[in-house]
Amino acid sequence: MARLLAFIVLLIPGIMAAGGIKLIRDTIFGKLIGPIPYLWLQLLIGLLLVVVGIGFFAGFLLNRDRKNGKVQPKFVKKKES
C-alpha cells in the first residue's frame, strides 16, 4: 500500500511537468492554448510547472536516499544537538 501511495504522490508532479513541457512546446510553435492570453505568459507558466514538477521529484528522491544512507557526505543533513 505504501508503494502505491508513493507512486500516486510522484504521479501528480510528473503530470505537471509533462503539461509544462507541452505548454513550452506550444509556445515555441506559436500556438496559444485556452484561457492564457499571451504567449510569454504561457511560456512562464510552462517553465514554472516544469521546475516545480522536477524539483518535487528530485526532492522526493533525495529525501528517500538520505533515509537509506545512499547519498554523498555533502548531501547528508547535520544532526542538531
The predicted-structure confidence for 31-53, as pLDDT tens digits, reads as follows 999 899 999 999 999 999 999 99
- For residues 14 and 8, what is the distance between their CA atoms, to the nearest angstrom? 10
- Answer whether residue 80 is part of any domain: no
- Answer whether residue 13 is part of any domain: yes
Between the alpha carbon of residue 69 and those of residues 11, 47, 72, the distances in Å are 25, 32, 9
Between the alpha carbon of residue 63 and those of residues 21, 36, 52, 53, the distances in Å are 25, 35, 16, 16
Model confidence at 76, pLDDT cuts 50, 70, 90, reads confident
Number of domains in the chain: 1
Q: What is the overall mean pLDDT for the chain? A: 92
Q: What residues make up the domain containing 27? A: 2-75
Report residue 15 as a C-alpha cell. Answer: 503530470
pTM of the model: 0.84
Mean pLDDT of 12-27: 97
State residue 17's pLDDT score.
Answer: 97
